[in-house]
Amino acid sequence: MVNKAVRTALERLWKDRCSIFIREEVTDPVTHLTDSEEKPLLQDQPCKLSFETLTSTNGDEVATAQQVVKLFLSPDVKVPAGCKIIVTRPNDVERTFTYSRSGEPGVFSNHQEIMLEPFRGWA
């Protein structure tokens, strides 16, 4: 059961904002050529971007570090695989991060968690 008060309180803590873009095929009516175009799916959505650093040694003398990035978002938002996600963090110096969704989101009653990877361009 979704508790609206809990969700509202949780989303109030999210200071980051995200915009989600998808890539759609567009056909030119004159030439009938098909091309793809980036279109906004959602803009200025409250969210929370979380960073975690994992360190592993795998038996080597040199440890490797990997960063795991997770996006916390309303469970009502459907984020398709392969989309472009731009997160803006409004601190003293505003920062912008660009990612794409990797894997299936973990959807809970009051939020969802989406694992992200750096956006390297449209596939």
Q: What is the pLDDT of residues 15-27, one digit of tens each?
A: 999 999 999 888 8
Q: What is the pLDDT of residues 107-121, one digit of tens each?
A: 998 999 999 999 988
Element holding 8 (H helix, E strand): helix 4-12
pLDDT at 40 over 90: yes
Nearest to 16 by CA among 105, 117, 94, 100: 94
Most distant CA pair in the chain, distance: 62
Give pLDDT, residue 2: 59
Instruction: List Cβ neighbours of 73 (8 Å cut-off, separation of 6 or more).
Output: 18, 45, 47, 79, 111, 112, 114
pLDDT bracket for residue 41 (50, 70, 90): very high
- What region does 70 belong to: left with phi over 0, alpha with psi -120 to 50, or beta? beta
Q: What is the pLDDT of residues 55-69, one digit of tens each?
A: 766 666 777 778 889
**Domain ranges in the chain?**
4-118
Q: Tokens for 54? A: 């994992």
pLDDT bracket for residue 104 (50, 70, 90): confident
Give pLDDT, residue 17: 96
Q: What is the pLDDT of residues 71-93, one digit of tens each?
A: 999 999 999 888 999 999 988 88
pLDDT at 50 over 90: yes
Give pLDDT, residue 101: 86
Report whether 115 contacts 68 (CB < 8 A).
yes
Q: What is the CATH number of domain 4-118?
A: 2.40.10
* Separation CA 97–CA 55 (nearest Å): 22
- Strand 64-73 to 84-89 pairing: unpaired
